[in-house]
Structure 1
Amino acid sequence: MTKMNRETVITEALDLLDEVGLDGVSTRRLAKRLGVEQPSLYWYFRTKRDLLTAMAQAAMAPHAAEPLPEPGEDWHGWFLRNTRSFRRTLLARRDGARLHAGSRPTADLDRVRRKMDFLVASGVPERHAQMAMLAAGRFTVGCVLEEQAETGAGDTADLPADVPEIDHESAFEAGLALITDGLVRHVDAR
C-alpha cells in the first residue's frame, strides 16, 4: 500500500490519466492503484469533480512556474511565450486539454491579475487585454484538444488526396499570430 496523502493521490491520479486517458480515470481504478478501498479517497476529495479539479491544477504546475512578466518587458514577446508555455503544459499530459477545459484558475488568480496588470501597464487597453487572454487561452485549449484527439484517432489515409495534413505546430503559431496581430493594432491605435 502506498503511503497516502493528498499529493500522492493527485500524483497517482495523473499517472493513471497518462496511462488510460481521462475516460479511464475512475475513483475505483485509482483506489486499486493505491492499494486502498475506494471510500478512503473521499477523505481527500469529496467528489470525483474535486479530484479532477485538483488534477487539473497540478497538471498546470509547469505553466504556473513560468516567470511573471517584468515591468518594461516587451508585452508582445511575453504574450507569445506565455501562450506557448500554456500549450506545452497542456500537451505534457494525455488528455491535458480535456482535463483543463472548464476548470477555473482559482488557485492562480493572483498570477492572472498580475499578467493582466502587466498588459494594461504596457499600453494594452484593459478590455482588449482581457479578451486577448481569454481568446488565446480558448484557442490554445481548442488546438490541443484537436491535436490530442487526432493522436488517438489513428490513420488519416482515408482523407481525400486534396485535403492537406495538418501540421499542428504551424497551425497553432498562425492562429496565435492572428490574435497578437489584432491586439497590436489596438495598442498602436492608442
Structure 2
Amino acid sequence: MTKMNRETVITEALDLLDEVGLDGVSTRRLAKRLGVEQPSLYWYFRTKRDLLTAMAQAAMAPHVAEPLPEPGEDWHIWFLENTRSFRRTLLARRDGARLHAGSRPTADLDRIRRKMDFLVASGVPERPAQMAMLAAGRFTVGCVLEEQAETGAGDTAELPPGVPEIDHESAFEAGLALITGGLARHVDARRASTPRSARPGSSHQVR
C-alpha cells in the first residue's frame, strides 16, 4: 500500500488524470490505485470537488514557479511570456484546461496582485490591465480546451474547400497579439495624456 498523505493523494490523482482523462477520475478508482478503501480519502478531501480543486492548484505548479516580473521589464514581452507559460502548463496535463476551468486561484492571489502592480507601474491603466489579464486567461483556457478536445477525438473532419487550416499555436499567437495590441493602445493613450516628467522612466511600447 502506498504511504498516504495529502500530497501523495494529489500526485496519484494527477497521474490517474493523465491515464484516463477527467471523466475517468473517480474516488473509487483513486482509492484502488492507492491500495486503500474509498472512505480513507475523506480524511484528506471531503468531496470530489475538493479533490479536483486541489488537483487544479497542483497542476499549475510549473506556471506558479515562473519568476515574477521585475521593475523595468518590458510589460509587453512579459505579458506574452506569462500567457504562453499558462498555456504550456495547461497542455502539460491531459484535460488540463477542463480541470482548470472554473477553479478559483485562491492560492495565487498574491502573485496576481504583484503582476497587476507591475503592469500599472509600467504605465498600463489599471482597469484595462485587469480586463486584459482576465481576457488572456479565459482565451488561453478556451484555446487549450479546443486543442485537447481535438486531440482526444482522434481524426478530425476535413475542412470545407476554401477554408484555411490554422494550427493551434498560430491561432493562439494571433489572438494573443490582438489582446496585447489592444492593451498597447490604452498605454499609448495614457502616455499621450501624461506630462513627460510624470511618465515611467523606461519605455514600454510594443515592439
Whether the TM-score (by the shorter chain) exceeds 0.5 is: yes
Q: Shift of the alpha carbon at 1:60?
A: 0.2
State the alpha-carbon separation in 1 of the partners of residues 39 and 45 from structure 2. Answer: 10
- Structure 2 residue runs of 5 or longer lacking an equivalent are 189-205
Q: 1:158 to 1:177 in 2, by over 3 A?
A: closer
Residues of 2 paired with 1:30 and 1:166: CA distance?
38
**Cα-to-partner distance string for 1:12-31 (whole Å, 9 max, x where unaligned):** 00000000000000000000
Q: Deviations over 1:117-153 (max 9, x none)?
A: 0000000000000000000000000000000000011
Per mean C-alpha deviation after superposition, the further-off stretch among 106-115 and 156-165 is 156-165
**What are the ranges of 5 or more consecutive residues in structure 1 without an aligned counterpart?**
none
What SS class does the counterpart of residue 69 from structure 2 fall into? coil
Deviations 1:72-124 (A, max 9, x none): 11100000000000000000000000000000100000000000000000000
Deviation, structure 1 residue 156: 2.3
Greater CA radius of gyration, 1 or 2?
2
Deviations along 1:35-55, whole A, 9 cap, x unmatched? 000000000001000000000
C-alpha separation between the residues in 1 aligned to 2:179 and 2:104?
A: 22
2:15 alignment counterpart? 15
Post-superposition offset of 1:4: 0.3
Q: What percent identity do the matched residue pairs reach?
A: 94
Shift of 1:157: 4.2
RMSD over aligned Cα atoms: 1.8
- 1:154 Cα deviation after fit: 1.8
C-alpha separation in 1, matches of 2:133 and 2:10: 28
In 2, the alpha carbon distance for the partners of 1:104 and 1:140 equals: 16
